[in-house]
Structure 1
């Protein structure tokens, strides 16, 4: 009786204890695991996609459009290391791991929901898998010789994501918006295609992070996840506070992109922020689209290079037989509007990362162009 009693107490005590979680594990470039969980960055635990210790979520003022997917972004750095601030691109330490999980809120009947509302996505310490469907998680790992891009695709059971170097194509049903329900194919890029966006310097073709830069990060993170459990805080200050960012200047001296959907910002700033994150990685003086002469990154101020009354380098399918990139007052005659509204692989922009038209982004750019004075005569 005595043995049975203490055996029961021990069993209850063990049942009430969680197994210690393994620490983040960095694998060599040539020894990349097949399973995302072997990194211990984000893992499915008790019905959540949970963040490990030190894995810090972040968000962007305006994000790249990806077929209305929601995104959970995280950063992790080895103990004792930090990124050095620079206005254009931080100098990240070796061993940094950036993750971006693409997911959708669930809709009835196996579909996914088109919504800009993130409020129901999270539970105690991560994404609530009762409410969301995971699609893919992309890692960027800082190696001695540069960044390595790794795409992991989640299984139907939402228990594990496996490495898919060749990418994937996933049929989905998007529910919501004025169009009701819309069938589309979500495309996971292959590892080589990641360079199509992340190699924003066409000369050295080196992969670099695009989102976690000062102008995109300069905002409050509001979800109570990870080290933000106590509440909202400016992300750059938070990174400095937890030791992930050094040499940070005063916030007033740091650029900040607008939120494209926030009417509190001027229309010009919203449109430029949208073009910067969605197009500027190619359309910049060093980018893959440098020969186009169309510069859509934040720093560009020359109206002609921003497309105003600028003829295309090559006419035909890509131009929609329109004469100028931007015709003031006339979005319907502008190549820029035509390309962001197209789903033709030979014409649409961006070329990668979407199968659908971003209706809200299209409306913003149309409003911006329609309000421009002058003409191209």
Structure 2
């Protein structure tokens, strides 16, 4: 409900110390003026919203580590491709602004990283890279069971007309992405949570609702592949 007052629910903290990374999850009180460190267990908070009931999940410590631990530097999303966008507020490049503040330990590359292709393809691949490549890459334990690399440089090669290592359905002819047919593409089905049992979906942690904007973007991209030369 955009018209309702905003409420603080949780704050997640990653702190790097000499002995390594420390993880802390804080839950705010109803007044929103004080937060308390949780005991590391999962906390589920039910809400009644105009569009229906909703359960917000504060992750457990183990849920946090499941995504962060496999990362080379523990943090998620702090990479050049995600930081090279333009800041609307002043038109400056975000990565250059951060470099000017001298927060990097090494100089950044002068070459800007961009995803090639038409606009809908760039946006869809960027969306999948940003939301899926943290786990789906050769450096993650997930790769040993899926062999799926969703980093932007390898995404199409690993998905378009490629059969999955493990089938999510009994259809042995199914592919990860079928050009022009999003509803027949396994990747789209997992993202949109279209399976009848509701048990198979992506991402498996940290979400309780589908991202309708992202799903529509991926749908339009897959449809465009069916008309490509």
Indicate the SS of the match to 2:7: strand
Q: Secondary structure at the match of 1:245?
A: coil
- Mapped partners of 1:256, 1:171: distance in 2: 41
Q: In structure 2, what is the Cα distance between the partners aligned to 1:172 and 1:243?
A: 42
Aligned length, in residue pairs: 220
**Structure 2 residue 184 is matched with structure 1 residue 333:** yes
Unaligned runs of 5+ in 1: 1-104, 109-130, 176-180, 224-230, 259-264
Tell me: CA distance 1:330–1:281, structure 2 relative to 1, closer, same or farther (3 Å).
same
Deviation at 1:232, TM superposition (A): 5.7
- Equivalent residue for 1:310? 162
State whether residues 345 and 351 of structure 1, in contact with CA within 8 Å, keep that contact through their aligned partners in structure 2.
no
Structure 1 stretches (4+) deviating beyond 6 angstroms? none
Kindly report which structure 2 residues correspond to 1:1-377, keeping only aligned pairs within 5 A, or say none.
106-108=2-4, 131-164=5-38, 165-175=40-50, 181-201=51-71, 208-222=74-88, 233-249=92-108, 251=110, 253-256=111-114, 266-291=119-144, 292-300=146-154, 303=157, 305=158, 307-315=159-167, 319-322=168-171, 323-342=174-193, 346-373=199-226
In structure 2, how many angstroms separate the alpha carbons of the residues matched to 1:232 and 1:155? 38
| Alignment gaps of 5+ in structure 2 | none
Which whole-Å CA distance do the structure 1 matches of 2:25 and 2:198 have between them? 22
User: Would the aligned equivalents of 1:135 and 1:153 in 2 still touch at CA under 8 Å?
Assistant: yes
Q: Secondary structure at the match of 1:337?
A: helix
Deviation string, structure 1 residues 221-258 (Cα, Å, up to 9, x no partner) = 446xxxxxxx564322222222212443454x032569
The Cα shift of 1:320 comes to 4.0
Output the CA distance in 1 between the equivalents of 2:60 and 2:115: 29
Relative distance call for 1:373 and 1:232 in structure 2 (3 A) is closer
What SS is found at the alignment partner of 2:63? coil
When residues 166 and 191 of structure 1 are mapped into structure 2, their CA distance, relative to the original with a 3 A threshold, is same
Instruction: Describe the shift of the 1:160–1:350 C-alpha distance in structure 2 as closer, same or farther (beyond 3 A).
Output: same
TM-score (norm 2): 0.84
Query: How big is the shift at 1:147?
Result: 1.9
Q: Secondary structure at the match of 1:368?
A: helix
Offset at 1:169?
A: 1.1
TM-score (norm 1): 0.53
